[in-house]
Structure 1
Amino acid sequence: MLGNFSYCNPTKLYFGENSLSNLSDELKKYGDNVVFVYGTGSIKKNGIYDDIIKILKESNKNITEIEGVMPNPTVEKLYEGIEIARNHNADFILAVGGGSVCDFSKALSVSVNCNEEPWEKYFVRFEEPDCEIIPIGCVLTMVGTGSEMNAGSVITNQNTKEKIGHAFADEKIMPKFTILNPRFTMTLPKYQMVSGIYDIFNHICEQYFSGTDDNTSDYISEALMKSVIHSSLVAVKNPNDYEARSNIMWTATWALNTLIAKGKTTDWEVHMLGQAVGGYTNATHGMTLSAVSLAYYRYIMPYGLDKFKRFAINVWSVSPQGKTDEQIAKEGLLAMEIWMNEIGVITNISDLGVTKDDIENIADLTLTMDGGYKTLSRDEKIKVLSDSL
């Protein structure tokens, strides 16, 4: 561990089938005016909405709702939410849903009392809030983003086709608590489940494929990746396997609560490429990552060959006997591709609606990161995207 760092994660987690029973006690810590934020209606079909409303009413909260938060939350939806929260004099935001709802709620928490234009301030200039932040809590119904235990938020501007994430530095933006009940995730369609699974896996990869020192964080990452691989194969065969779904949910949280990023640089270029594709197509986030990952990792592999060799051996159990380092590394990426096909994620951007004519525009929308093994030029972004078609 060669880096210097501090670590603090103030989010309290309640995990398990009875975890929702803790919501009442948590609500007592906050003001009376609660903004209840959720997605496009699935929680009304599976009964979670009724359970939450009952608890809120029993807690004597004044409730207003922001419903219809979409999978890629938009600036327009954020503006709508700001007006609702201001009119309600919001004391607390309760986010019930997947990562998009959590992301939206964090953006809302720093925007309600902000005197500036939130998109420009937070997602263009990447400034930190200088206003009162409204506390939030989460009840998670879909896993993948890790948004339940970090200070990140991703918002899409449909006018400019930009999808931009801001990892806020202020710990106050992190959820005060998150309720994690694996049962809540079991009504998701397979497409959403495997999309979330790949999102988890890639979060780990983004932090793993960087640095050359002997770092404890990388050993943790390898264990988390092996857990995702194993549990994903079980869950694809039997989506109602509680043990597999609970392991996936727990791994998702630890994949992006900043723990495995400590003491090292991190990459995140796959996310920049995927978010650019997502901003252009409105495709599901995890699928945009899976669609560009293989081409990107095959391109940067020569620049981080030792780590890709280690990845092949330690994560995919590739035998190194009688093989060159390059052969071992390539075999690891092939094993990854086989797994991706087995769980059913998308592996090319053409399946998301991208055409050859779109490539240069998407490349121009892709932010450049410099923490990995290769900083991509514009031409290199075009090549990776072209190889992803």
Structure 2
Amino acid sequence: MQLDFSYYNPTTIHFGKDSLAKLKEEAPKYGKTVMLVYGRNAIKANGLYDKVVAILEQAGKKVVELSGVMPNPTLEKMREGVQIVRDHNVSLILAVGGGSVIDCAKGISVSAYCEDQDPFVKYWCEFKDVDNEVVPVASILTMVGTGSEMNGGSVITNEETKYKAGRVFPAHVFPKFSILNPEYTFTVSQYQMVSGVFDTMSHLMEQYFSDKGANTTDYVIESLLKSSIDNLRVALKAPNDYEARSNLMWNATLALNTLTGLSKSQDWQVHMIEHQLGAYTDCAHGMGLAAISLPYYRLIYKFGLEKFVRFATQVWGIAAEDKTDEEIALAGIDALEAFTKECGIVTSLEELGATKEMLPKIAESTIILGGGYHAITTQEIQQVLEACF
């Protein structure tokens, strides 16, 4: 473990088939008014909405709502939630849905009482400290992938400027508690399920492909990658397999609750490119990550050859005999590509709604982090994007 670290995660996880019952214990810890934040009609169609509202009302809570949170939540939608919080003196924001809903809830939490500056500029553009009152957030997870249920991440899209901005907030913004019942993911479409699993895998790879050697965190990441691969294959054949779906749910949480980043410098360039792709196309996040990952890793593998060899042998079981290190590394990336095809993961930017005319704008607006094995250039980002057509 070469880098020093401090680790703290304040989120309480209630996991399992009966986890919703824990809402009865958690609700009384907060004030009178709860704002329910959710997407469109999925939680009403599957009955979860009625169950949650009934528990809150039995606890004596007044329930107000922000509905219609979209994938890739927008600044406009976040501002709508801010106004509701202010109008009703909301004491708890309860996000019921996937990562986009939870991200939006966190954005509302930090923005509601930010008085000195436009909160989007302050927190997502200038990355200033959160120095105002925040409204507590909690979540009930219905789709896996982002890990937002146990971290401070919040990604908000400014549609006007075509800027999809990610911010990781400190621990006091993390959800206070999150309820994870794998059965709530059974009705998610196959497209969204595989997109979410690749999002999980991408989080793991962004952290894995950094630094030399293999510390304990790298071993943890390898195991979570293998679990995601194995259990997605099961879930594709049997979508209601509880064991597979529960493993995928917990994998996603562990992949980005800061545990798998300990003592790692990390990369995150694939996410930076996808954020701008998403700003222009509104594509499913995991699908965009998959498309970008393959040419990106083929670009940078030589700069981190040792780790890419390990990825091939330890995650994909590539035999090392009679191969050079470069051949082994490329075989690992080929195995990743074969897996995306096996699972029906879309890797064509054209299918994701992009046009070639968009590519220079996407490349030019992408933030370059420079923290991985290779500090990519804007020209190289465009080459990566062109390779996805």
Question: What's the TM-score, normalizing by structure 2?
Answer: 0.99
Bigger drift between 209-218 and 181-190 goes to 209-218
Matching residue's letter, 2:172: K
What are the superposed Cα offsets for residues 253-297 of structure 1, whole Å, 9 maximum, x if unpaired? Answer: 000001011112000001011111000101111111011110000
The CA distance in 2 between the partners of 1:371 and 1:29, in whole Å, is 41
CA distance in 2: counterparts of 1:147 and 1:192, whole angstroms: 16
Mapped to 1, the partners of 2:280 and 2:355 lie a distance apart of 11
The whole-number CA distance in structure 1 between the counterparts of 2:365 and 2:351 is: 20
1:247 is matched with 247
Q: How does 1:203-242 map to 2 (within 5 A)?
A: 203-242=203-242
Three-state SS of the structure 2 residue aligned to 1:349 is coil
One-letter amino acid of the counterpart of residue 122, structure 2: K
Q: How does 1:291-302 map to 2 (within 5 A)?
A: 291-302=291-302
Question: How far, CA to CA, are the matches of 1:118 and 1:281 in structure 2?
Answer: 25
Supply the distance in 1 between the matched residues of 2:46 and 2:371 (Cα, whole angstroms): 42
Correspondence 1:151 to 2:180: no
The corresponding residue for 1:136 is: 137
State the shift of 1:345 in Å. 0.8
Deviations 1:314-356 (A, max 9, x none): 0000000000001001111111111111111111212112122
Q: What is the CA–CA distance in structure 2 between the aligned matches of 1:263 and 1:190, rounded to whole Å?
A: 35
1:228-377 correspondence to structure 2 within 5 Å: 228-377=228-377
Shift of 1:149: 0.2
- CA–CA distance in 2 between the matches of 1:245 and 1:291? 24
**In the TM superposition, what is the alpha-carbon distance from 1:213 to its structure 2 partner?**
3.3
Q: Deviations over 1:185-240 (max 9, x none)?
A: 00011111111010001000000000113311100000000000000001111111
Q: What whole-Å deviation, never above 9, does each CA across 1:34-60 have from its counterpart, x for those lacking one?
A: 111111110000000000000010000
Aligned positions of 1:64-83 closer than 5 A: 64-83=64-83
Is 1:58 equivalent to 2:58 in the alignment? yes
Matched residue SS, 1:165 = strand
| Paired residues for 1:18-37 under 5 Å | 18-37=18-37
Aligned to 1:172: 172
- State the identity as a percent: 50
Structure 1 range deviating more: 149-158 or 356-365: 356-365
Question: Partner amino acid for 1:292?
Answer: I
Question: Contact (CA 8 Å) 2:228, 2:248: kept in 1 or not?
Answer: yes
Q: Distance in 2 between matches of 1:358 and 1:177?
A: 40
Where does the alignment leave 5 or more consecutive residues of structure 1 unmatched? none
TM-score by length of 1: 0.99
Native 8 Å contact 2:204 2:221 kept in 1: yes
Match of 1:383 in 2: 383
Moved over 3 A (4+): none
- In the alignment, the residues of structure 2 paired with residue 326 and residue 348 of structure 1 have an alpha-carbon distance, to the nearest angstrom, of 26
Question: Which whole-Å CA distance do the structure 1 matches of 2:160 and 2:235 have between them?
Answer: 38
8 Å contact kept, 2:213–2:307: no
Q: Does 1:101 align with 2:106?
A: no
Residue 36 of structure 1: SS of its match in structure 2? strand
Cα distance in structure 2, aligned partners of 1:218 and 1:268? 16
Q: Which amino acid aligns with 1:52?
A: V
Whole-angstrom distance in 1 between the partners of 2:130 and 2:344: 40
Using the TM superposition, give the Cα deviation of residue 101 of structure 1 relative to its aligned residue in structure 2, in angstroms: 0.5
* Alpha-carbon distance in structure 1 between the residues aligned to 2:129 and 2:47: 37
> Contact 2:82 / 2:108 at 8 angstroms: preserved in 1?
yes
Give the AA of the match of 2:351. Answer: D
The aligned amino acid for 2:31 is: G
TM-superposition CA deviations, 1:101-159 (whole Å, max 9, x none): 00000011001111121111111111121111111110000000000000010000111
AA of the residue aligned to 2:47: G
CA distance, structure 2, for counterparts of residue 319 and residue 43 of structure 1: 46
Measure the CA separation in 2 of the matches of 1:48 and 1:205.
Answer: 33
Q: Does the 8 A contact of 1:110 with 1:134 survive in 2?
A: yes
Inter-partner Cα distance in structure 2 for 1:132 and 1:105: 15
SS of residue in 1 equivalent to 2:351: helix
The yes-or-no answer on 1:122 pairing with 2:123 is yes
Kept after mapping to 2: 8 A contact 1:348/1:388 = yes
- Amino acid of the residue matched to residue 340 of structure 1? T
Q: State the distance in 1 between where 2:342 and 2:183 align.
A: 24
Offset of residue 85 of structure 1? 1.0
Maintained 8 Å contact 1:292/1:348: no
Find the residue that maps to 1:40 and give its secondary structure.
coil
Q: Deviations over 1:146-191 (max 9, x none)?
A: 00000010000111111110011x2110000000000000001111
**Is this contact kept in 1: 2:309–2:325, CA < 8 A?**
yes
Query: What is the aligned-residue RMSD (CA, Å)?
Result: 0.8
C-alpha distance in 1, partners of 2:265/2:215? 11
Count, aligned residues? 388
The code of the aligned residue for 1:157 comes to N
Partner amino acid, structure 1, of 2:55: I
Matched residues in 1 for 2:245 and 2:371: separation? 32
What's the CA shift string for 1:354-375, capped at 9, x where partnerless? 1222111000121111221011
> Contact between 1:359 and 1:385, CA under 8 Å: does it hold in 2?
yes
Contact 1:2–1:213, Cα closer than 8 Å, also in 2: no
d(CA) in 2 for partners of 1:214, 1:75: 40
Partner of 1:191: 191
